[in-house]
Amino acid sequence: MAANCFLRVSARLKQISLFWLIVLHSEELHVQSNDVSCIVYNEEFMECKWDHIDEEANYTLFYWYLSKPRKECGNYIQENGYNVGCYFSKEEIIEFEYFNIYRNGSSNSGKVLALTQTFQLQNQVKLNPPGNLTLNMFENNELLLTWDPPAKLLKCQMYEIRHRSNKDKDWQVQVINAQTKYILPSVDPKKFYTFQVRSKINQYCANAKLWSEWSPAIQWEKNLTQSGKSHGKYYLWVFLIALGLSIIVLSLLKLKRKYRPSEYQWKSLKGFYERKLPQK
């Protein structure tokens, strides 16, 4: 009886030891990681990057979707001979499907480390800043700001507009969805205003957290605007006058060539007058 009990305890201890060996071995070889950053830039290409420390493993990266087989990165991003990321073309990006990465490499102890991570790429999109910002003032002192969207899916984009005058210390911020215009009412003509816009995929299309960079600033000031308009009219008048003078000069040259007598006509006229003049 005692022998049987001893055997059962020994077997149980072996199972527990084997279990912990497997766990420790698995933790060493297969670790869930969050140190890889994958960003889809304006839905045109993607970069997955990680930090590299001297004397650390030179990692390789594999990736797969549920609907696609596993592949190794075909275009590594390198620094000082070490892989620090992977570049993905637009054709390799699939949104609304789990994107899995598996990164492994040899540690200083010679053992292989494997780090895994999962993304949904529609949540990793970082748009370009909006472009072609334009300001127009209306007679009721409303200032209209317009811009071009950075990507085609207008309904999936939201914008953050910030503005302030030369009398303000803090930015005034407004967030709008699926529009490419913003109206600032009751503009003070004595103030100088600065505007910037940035963009992001909105909550109706993804759970994106990444805002674009801010657009280049655009300014408005009444005197500056009026001066710009007067300069524009001045340059228009200069252009029209120069164009008119050029047309007149070309027309005169054409008439001169048309009515200029040829050599034959000159000889005929000379002979005619020689016959008419009395001989001495």
pLDDT of the residue at 85? 95
Quick one: how far is CA 80 from the chain centroid? 27
Can you tell me the distance from the alpha carbon of 7 to that of 279, in angstroms, rounded to the nearest whole number?
158
Collect all residues with Cβ–Cβ distance below 8 Å to 275 and sequence separation of at least 6: none
Place of tokens 């317009």: 146
Can you tell me the distance from the alpha carbon of 112 to that of 27, in angstroms, rounded to the nearest whole number?
11
pLDDT of the residue at 3? 45
The two beta strands, 30-32 and 112-120, are: parallel
Q: In this structure, what are the phi and psi dihedrals at residue 9, rounded to the nearest 5 degrees? A: -65, -45
Can you tell me the distance from the alpha carbon of 188 to that of 196, in angstroms, rounded to the nearest whole number?
19
Can you tell me the distance from the alpha carbon of 175 to that of 161, in angstroms, rounded to the nearest whole number?
6
Neighbouring C-beta atoms of residue 178, cutoff 10 Å: 14
Mean pLDDT, all residues of the chain: 79
pLDDT of the residue at 107? 52
SS3 105: strand
Place of tokens 């994106």: 208
Please, are residues 95 and 49 in contact by the beta-carbon 8 Å criterion?
A: no
Can you tell me the distance from the alpha carbon of 151 to that of 178, in angstroms, rounded to the nearest whole number?
12
Neighbouring C-beta atoms of residue 116, cutoff 10 Å: 15
**Radius of gyration of the chain from its Cα atoms, rounded to whole angstroms:** 38
Tokens at residue 167, please? 């009398």
Can you tell me the distance from the alpha carbon of 74 to that of 27, in angstroms, rounded to the nearest whole number?
28
What sign for the dihedral angle of Cα 54, 56, 60, 63?
Answer: negative
C-alpha pair distances (Å), 277 with each of 214, 263, 265: 90, 21, 19
In one-letter notation, the amino acid at residue 118 is: T
pLDDT per residue as tens, the chain (280 positions): 444 444 454 445 344 433 333 333 444 444 455 689 999 999 999 999 998 877 777 889 999 999 899 999 999 999 988 999 999 999 999 999 999 998 887 555 554 556 789 999 999 999 999 999 999 988 888 899 999 999 887 789 999 999 999 988 899 999 999 899 999 988 888 889 999 999 999 999 999 999 999 999 999 987 654 434 434 555 677 778 888 888 888 777 776 666 555 565 556 655 655 665 555 4
Q: What is the DSSP string of 195-238?
A: EEEEEEE-TTT----PPPPPPPPEEE-HHHHHHHHHHHHHHHHH
pLDDT of the residue at 1? 47
